[in-house]
């Protein structure tokens, strides 16, 4: 052990496998080290992997070998005493499958081993204490998710300092398959919930062909049902995208609707957030302009919520729950248009029938096409943008609902003058939910990540061309 050195990490040929040098402070009594220091190690490059269990493997005999095991969780390995020869083999799907990295470890070194990287060691001294933190709880059942490689595999050819025939090896480790028979460990997957709604359908298109993304409608995963959570092996996932929501704004003002809105938009989101925290997942949650009262002309991501109605209140509560997840993206949208029933489709149908509707002219915002929200979500995930809240609507000049309706009529070949203006106060009916006056979202945050939503007027024209009424 080299005393007095600084904490630092170095990369290896295996992506995500990081070797750390640890400061060790010694005197005549022995030595001391900080074996794991979250803040300092994050600064040195360690992922915030959220360990939940600490294990120690004590090895009395020199030449003891354990491995090669690729486990379905991340681990941080260090020594309390002794010295080892470590061997790590990438057993994940991908171009680095089969890559080998070796190093000697003493108490002055540590290594972060990501999920799916095979881990093995040979003790070079007696009484070696091998310690490791993992971010999931071990169980006998979890071993079925391991991927194994034979210690003597000729393809990888680990250069064991002490020959295998002179080492202490368990019978089980001696029977593991050679490289040609190893099935690579698949990567963690993304789970899209609410996959049958407007945004869910757009997400299916955005992630089409990506086998790592799974889609679940309410029949497959009911976010309000405890049984749905218990049926999922969360260690198989890295990300949850929650596209499920109660969106009947006016119905939320009734007793039955109020309970449903809070159950789906708040209580269920809290449960999803807890699952994300417990299993170190990235959580993508969809917010709404209704969390604001609309008094500000333009809404920024850091504006304090001030919802007017039950729907907005339930969404604001869900946002607060989602924000407790360390790795979260809260996507705030407005005036969503996608497959199925929506304002634009309704106006287009009325235009073809020559109906003269009255549409409010004192609420302002921009349309948000689901076909652009979904790629925006994919962009944030793939680009690893900073976590936090992002406004995501289409761009262009803000319009009133009345102006949008007139554009629909014009593009459908109908007379825009058929669309008559009306104030919110005059339009309101009993049990109508209050709406924010301004729903205009500032888009500088999402644009700073490299995603620039097209203008709403451009997307409106394209949407109407493809519409089948």
Q: Domain extents for the chain?
A: 8-181, 189-466
Identify the three-state secondary structure at position 455: strand
Over residues 29-40, the mean pLDDT reads 92
| pLDDT score at 3 | 52
Mean pLDDT value across residues 369-374: 97
Instruction: Provide the percentage of residues in the chain whose pLDDT is more than 90.
Output: 89
pLDDT of 392 over the 60 cut: yes
Q: Is the pLDDT of residue 240 over 80?
A: yes
Q: What are phi and psi of 429, to 5 degrees?
A: -115, 170
Q: What is the mean pLDDT of residues 37-53?
A: 92
- 264: confidence class by pLDDT, cuts 50, 70, 90: very high
pLDDT of 5: 73
pLDDT of residue 4: 56
Q: Give, as one character, the DSSP assignment of residue 147.
A: E
Q: What is the CATH number of domain 8-181?
A: 2.60.120.10
pLDDT of 461 over the 70 cut: yes
CA 428 to chain centre: 39
Question: What local confidence, expressed as pLDDT, does residue 27 receive?
Answer: 87
Tell me how far the alpha carbon of residue 26 is from its chain's centroid: 42
Strands (E), 162-224: 189-193, 213-216
Which 8-state DSSP code applies to residue 463? H
Phi, psi at 257, each rounded to 5°:
-65, -35
Residues in the chain: 469
Mean pLDDT of 406-431: 94
* C-alpha distances in Å from residue 412, one per residue of 43, 111, 352, 399, 464: 56, 63, 7, 18, 7
CB 18 within 8 A of CB 11: yes
55 vs 132: CA distance, rounded Å: 5
Angle at 132 between CA 127 and CA 136, to 5 degrees: 145
Q: Which residues are known to be catalytic?
A: 69, 132
In the prediction, which pLDDT does 187 show? 87
pTM: predicted TM-score of the whole model, two decimal places: 0.86
Residue 343 predicted with pLDDT over 70: yes
pLDDT band at 469 (very low <50, low <70, confident <90, very high): low
pLDDT digits (tens, 9 = 90+) for 116-166: 999 999 999 999 999 999 988 888 777 888 999 999 999 999 999 999 999
Per-residue pLDDT of 417-429, as tens digits, reads: 999 999 999 998 8
Per-residue pLDDT band at 106 (split at 50, 70, 90): very high
For residues 258 and 312, what is the distance between their CA atoms, to the nearest angstrom? 11
Mean pLDDT of the residues in the chain: 94
Architecture of domain 189-466: 3-Layer(aba) Sandwich (3.40)
Confidence tier at 394 by pLDDT (50, 70, 90) = very high
Question: What mean pLDDT do residues 255-273 have?
Answer: 97
Residue with the larger pLDDT of the pair 54 and 144: 54
Tell me if 192 sits within 8 A of 215, measured CB to CB.
yes
């Amino acid at each position: 052990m080299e005393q007095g050195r600084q904490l630092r990490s170095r990369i290896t040929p295996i992506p995500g496998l990081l070797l750390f040098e640890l400061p060790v402070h010694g005197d005549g009594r022995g030595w001391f080290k900080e074996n794991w220091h979250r803040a300092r190690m994050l600064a040195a490059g360690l992922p915030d992997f959220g360990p939940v269990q600490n294990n120690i493997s004590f090895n009395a005999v020199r030449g003891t070998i354990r491995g090669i095991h690729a486990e379905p969780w991340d681990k941080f390995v260090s020594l309390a005493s002794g010295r080892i020869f470590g061997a790590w083999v990438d057993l994940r799907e991908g171009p680095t499958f089969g890559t080998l990295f070796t190093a000697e470890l003493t108490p002055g070194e540590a290594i972060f081993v990501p999920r799916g990287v095979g881990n093995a060691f040979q003790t070079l001294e007696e009484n070696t204490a091998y310690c490791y933190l993992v971010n999931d709880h071990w169980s006998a059942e979890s071993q079925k998710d391991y991927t194994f490689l034979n210690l003597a595999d000729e393809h990888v050819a680990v250069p064991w300092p002490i020959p295998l025939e002179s080492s202490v090896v368990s019978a089980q480790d001696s029977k593991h398959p050679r490289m040609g028979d190893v099935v690579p460990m698949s990567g963690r997957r993304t789970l899209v919930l609410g996959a049958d709604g407007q945004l869910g359908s757009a997400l299916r298109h955005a992630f089409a062909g990506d086998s790592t993304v799974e889609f679940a409608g309410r029949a497959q995963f009911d976010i309000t049902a405890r049984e749905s959570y218990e049926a999922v092996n969360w260690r198989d996932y890295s990300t949850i995208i929650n596209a499920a929501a109660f969106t009947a704004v006016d119905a939320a003002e009734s007793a039955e609707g109020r309970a449903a809105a809070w159950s789906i938009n708040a209580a269920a989101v809290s449960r999803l957030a807890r699952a994300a925290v417990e299993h170190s997942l990235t959580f993508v949650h969809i917010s709404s302009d209704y969390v604001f009262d609309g008094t500000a002309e333009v809404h920024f991501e850091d504006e304090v919520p001030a919802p007017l109605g039950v729907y907005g209140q339930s969404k604001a509560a869900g946002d607060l729950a989602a924000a407790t997840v360390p790795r979260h993206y809260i996507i705030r949208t407005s005036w969503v248009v996608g497959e199925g029933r929506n304002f634009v489709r309704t106006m287009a149908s009325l235009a073809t029938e020559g109906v003269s509707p009255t549409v409010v002219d004192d609420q302002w915002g921009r349309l948000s096409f689901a076909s652009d929200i979904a790629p925006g979500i994919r962009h944030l995930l793939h680009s690893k943008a900073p976590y936090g809240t992002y406004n995501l609507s289409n761009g262009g000049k803000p319009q009133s609902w009345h102006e949008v309706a007139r554009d629909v009529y014009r593009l459908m070949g109908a007379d825009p003058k058929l669309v008559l203006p009306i104030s919110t106060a005059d339009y309101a009916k009993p049990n109508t939910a209050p709406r924010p006056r301004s729903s205009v979202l500032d888009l500088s945050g999402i644009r700073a990540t490299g995603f620039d939503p097209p203008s709403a007027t451009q997307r409106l024209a394209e949407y109407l061309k493809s519409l089948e009424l």
